Amino acid sequence: MEIEDINDNIVGHLENGVLTINEGIKTLNIQYISWITRKYIEKVILPLSLKEIEEGCFKGCSALEEVIIPNNVNKIGKSAFEGCGSLKKVVLSKTIEEIPIECFRYCESLKHIIIPDSVKKMEYGAFFNTDLEYLYLSKNIDELDIDTIRNVQRLILLKKNMTNNVWNKLKDRRLNRGENRGTYFREIVYIDNKEKPKTRRPLEQEDIKNRESLENIVIEGVDSIGPFTLAECQNLKKVVIGKEVKCIDIGAFASCPNLESVVIISDKLEYVGDYAFEDCKKLQQIVFKSDMTQIGYQAFCGCESLRYVDMQGIELGSIGEGCFKGCKNLEAVFMPDTLKVIGKESFKDCSELISIRIPKGVKIIGESAFENCCLSHKTTEIPQQKQDGEVEMIETDIPDLPVFITIPKTVTEIGERAFKGCKHLMYVHAELGSQLQEIKKGTFEGCEKLEAIDMPSNLKIIGDRAFYNCNSLGQIELPNGCEQVGDQAFLGCSNLRLVLTNGEIKHFANSFEDTNIANLDDLKLSKYKKIADESFEVITKPKSPVINFAEIKKVLTKERSIGHRND
């Protein structure tokens, strides 16, 4: 079928759902073709000669799923793609400077889009009534109508590149969003490219052909995989990362529902960006090579079939926030000795995680880092990588030992709820000379099998609800310098009968409610805030420690913490 423009000139042809615009066309406007014809357009192929897409050009093309706009196009008219309800993939020209009024309005299937650095202005309602999960914002934008980003789930940007005018608009809308103000973006994600390796030959969205049928891909001849390049490839099952790849950028493989295997051949891979493999629900394994330095925010979040992660031997300094959050079948994680920071919610809701070893150099364990993890022992399989990069599973028997976590002496901060809900955790040991001074709010809340904790020697504060409902905890020893026990810190510890201390606790209001501690009369109440109708026994200068961790260590063959890989 031949397609004519508003001046009755033939500009292309439509065949099997693909609209091909003729080479030589510089300005395109087909807004007057019939609505009956429009509904059959599923894909558009635009010529390199094209300079401008005029107002309303593809408006109402309800079956249109994909469009790649050539880099010679420097202008797009308002409402150009309005009402393209099936549109899933858009690659914008890198020379356009403006996203006009209502350009992608009612593109309800559009989940992510990258705004090129050439764009300086985004006008009213450009993405109104879409359901964008990611909007990667141009770093050079200096004019933005706030309604442009209505309903965006995550706004991804480099804060340092924002003008004060734009940044203040974004910040105010985020802070002031409420139930009666409409729905704007839920989350701002700041990208810091300081550690991102410099690359010259990226694989980009426009390089991928036949996305719908692509099942396997070997990525060679490039040194990076660009933002969202292979995101939402519905049939992609296996990826081989070639020898030259240094960088997997933001969202590169996000939401590939059938991706099962990623084989990393490259010894140069340094950087896995934010959301890189998010929601790849069938991904089962990942083994990194030696040059890795950064794994980004929620890089593997929601990978429900992921069973193990091996990071040993790499130069990784931090695990990004939410990196493995919601990987509900993850059983084993092997962390590198170079690790300094375990980010917020890194392993939250990994309900089958049976083994962790916190490396000795770690300084910060983030908020909710291991919240709702299983932390128990059982027979499992561990990965062994072959020379060709493929991985085979070797069954190993993890003995039925007490579930034991060692907090290295280098740790200076453990975030709130870091181990909350770890229902099989039995023992916690702080290394001699520990620098930790505070156990924060809810850190071990709901650890139902926790029997003993060796408190850090420099501990000063136990936060609110720190051991709430640890109903297997029988006795504790507070170090000399402990000054404060927070509200409800031991509430619900129904088996707690003995508290030992050499120091003077200045505040413990409601700390020991619902325990079996007695002998309130033995306290010097003038120095304390009284607990209404509650009490506990204080024994000063105990002759021996409450918990003999040396004996526990003997039980733990090879003196290893949970999940330390068998030699």
If you write DSSP's letter for every residue of 137-194 in order, what string do you get?
--TT--EE-GGGGTT-SEEEE-GGGS-HHHHHHHHHHHHH--TTS----SEEEE--GG
Domains of the chain in start order, with CATH, are: 2-191 (3.80.10.10), 195-399 (3.80.10.10), 401-567 (3.80.10.10)
pLDDT at 180: 38
Among candidate residues 60, 140, 159, 67, the one with its CA nearest the CA of residue 98: 140
The pLDDT of residue 374 is 77
Q: 505-521: per-residue pLDDT in tens? A: 666 656 666 655 543 33
Residue type, 307: R
Sheet strands (E) in 337-481: 341-342, 364-365, 379-385, 391-397, 404-407, 413-414, 427-430, 438-439, 452-454, 461-462, 475-478
Q: What is the pLDDT of residue 274?
A: 85
As a whole number of Å, the CA-based R_g of the chain is 29
Give residue for tokens 């009490």: 535
CA-to-CA distance for 539 and 233, rounded, in angstroms? 64
Interatomic CA distance for residues 363 and 146, integer angstroms:
39
Specify the pLDDT at position 506: 64
- Report d(CA 256, CA 391) in Å as an integer: 20
DSSP state of 206: G
502 DSSP assignment: S
Q: Which amino acid is at 507?
A: H
pLDDT at residue 382, as a whole number: 45
Q: What is the pLDDT of residue 131?
A: 77
Residues of the chain with pLDDT under 70: 5-6, 31-32, 138, 149-151, 153-196, 290, 355, 375-402, 498, 500-567
Closest by CA to 260, choosing from 247, 277, 243, 248, is 277
Q: Quick one: pLDDT at residue 327?
A: 94
Residues forming beta bridges with residue 294, ordered by sequence position: 271
The answer to whether 501 touches 477, Cβ cutoff 8 Å, is: yes
Burial class (CB in 10 A: 0-12, 13-18, 19+), 165: exposed
- pLDDT value of residue 198: 72
Contacts with 125 (C-beta within 8 Å, 6 or more apart), sequence order: 101, 102, 105, 145, 147, 148, 150
Query: Is the Cβ–Cβ distance between 127 and 152 less than 8 Å?
Result: yes
Side chain identity, residue 345: E
Sequence-ordered alpha helix ranges (H) in 196-353:
none
Question: Parallel, antiparallel, or unpaired for β 18-21 and 10-15?
Answer: antiparallel
- The pair of structure tokens assigned to 207 is 């390089």
CB 59 within 8 A of CB 31: yes
Which DSSP helix (H) or strand (E) runs through 28? strand 27-28
Q: Is this prediction's pTM over 0.85?
A: no
For residue range 302-320, list pLDDT tens digits in order.
Answer: 999 998 888 888 888 889 8
| Sequence-distant contacts of 134-143: CB under 8 A, at least 24 apart | 134/228, 134/250, 134/251, 134/254, 134/275, 135/185, 136/112, 136/227, 136/228, 136/250, 136/251, 141/115, 141/166, 142/166
Give the per-residue pLDDT at 499: 72
pLDDT of 527: 34
Return d(Cα 390, Cα 104) in angstroms, integer. 42
